[in-house]
């Protein structure tokens, strides 16, 4: 009798675990579809409002070029290139924008400490507080924008964040398999960060934050 009850209980547990996995997967798929829709509609505001500073999260030359364009157009007086890495200089990012970079060099700060999006948030927060900023233009890839803005908001709750999404070449076809893989990975990171379990999950999986 005891063995029979144990068998029933075990089947019941596995059944509910299965339903839980299916339900979680369904929620993930619905959220992922909404996430794709948000990314597909992500375009810079026109006209771009003025801000106290610009922070660009490194990861693609097109991001830095877009940020330099905003600085040249006086969208903000100061620019932080966050996550540049140690031993990296302005010229390493601006080979195609040498004139703009040279002209505005005094207004550009290179951040060398950030190695992840969370690091970008810490780096940008220190810089924004140093210059007593109340608004920031955030330049990064369109698919990366939701997570970047959310993390920045956690460290700069009183600062108005204005997204300037940049569409990288890898995102030209949203429904391509490689693009969907990229979006799925980013959406999972976003959910992990929003749920507060990102540190544990990223550490276990060895994922760059």
Distance CA 156, CA 151 (A): 9
Q: Which of 12-16, 23-27, 80-84, 107-111 has the lowest mean pLDDT?
A: 12-16
For the chain, the structural domain boundaries read: 53-171
Distance, in Å, from the CA atom of 83 to the CA atom of 127, rounded to the nearest integer, reads 13
The mean predicted confidence, pLDDT, of the chain is: 83
Tokens representing residue 135 in the block: 């608004």
**For residue 60, what pLDDT is reported?**
75
At residue 206, does pLDDT exceed 60? no
Task: Give Cβ neighbours of residue 9 (< 8 Å, ≥ 6 apart).
Answer: none
Name the percent of the chain lying above pLDDT 70.
Answer: 78
In CATH, what is the architecture of 53-171?
3-Layer(aba) Sandwich (3.40)
At residue 198, the pLDDT reads 53
Residue-wise pLDDT tens digits, 54-83: 999 988 778 988 998 899 899 999 999 998
pLDDT at 92: 67
State residue 14's pLDDT score.
Answer: 67
Flag whether pLDDT at 207 surpasses 50.
no
CB 75 within 8 A of CB 51: yes
What pLDDT is attached to residue 76? 96
Mean pLDDT of 9-37: 77
Tokens of 160: 């108005």
The Cα 52–Cα 74 span in angstroms is: 10
d(CA 154, CA 58): 20
pLDDT score of 1: 55
The pTM assigned to this predicted structure is: 0.81
């Amino acid at each position: 009798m005891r063995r029979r009850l144990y068998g029933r209980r075990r089947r019941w547990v596995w059944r509910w675990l299965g339903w839980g996995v299916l339900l979680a997967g369904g929620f993930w798929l619905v959220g992922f579809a909404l996430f794709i829709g948000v990314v597909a509609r992500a375009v810079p505001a026109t006209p771009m409002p003025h801000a106290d500073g610009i922070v660009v999260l490194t990861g693609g030359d097109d991001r830095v070029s877009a940020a330099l364009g905003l600085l040249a157009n006086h969208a903000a007086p100061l620019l932080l290139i966050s996550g540049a890495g140690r031993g990296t200089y302005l010229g390493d990012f601006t080979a195609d924008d040498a004139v703009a970079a040279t002209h505005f060099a005094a207004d550009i700060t290179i951040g060398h400490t950030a190695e992840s999006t969370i690091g970008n948030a810490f780096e940008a927060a220190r810089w924004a507080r140093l210059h007593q900023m109340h608004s920031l233009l955030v330049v990064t890839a369109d698919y990366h924008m939701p997570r970047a803005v959310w993390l920045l908001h956690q460290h700069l709750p009183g600062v108005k964040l204005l997204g300037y999404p940049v569409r990288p070449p890898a995102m030209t076809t949203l429904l391509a398999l490689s693009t969907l893989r990229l979006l799925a990975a980013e959406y999972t990171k976003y959910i992990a960060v929003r749920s507060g379990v990102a540190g544990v999950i990223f550490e276990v999986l060895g994922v760059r934050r």
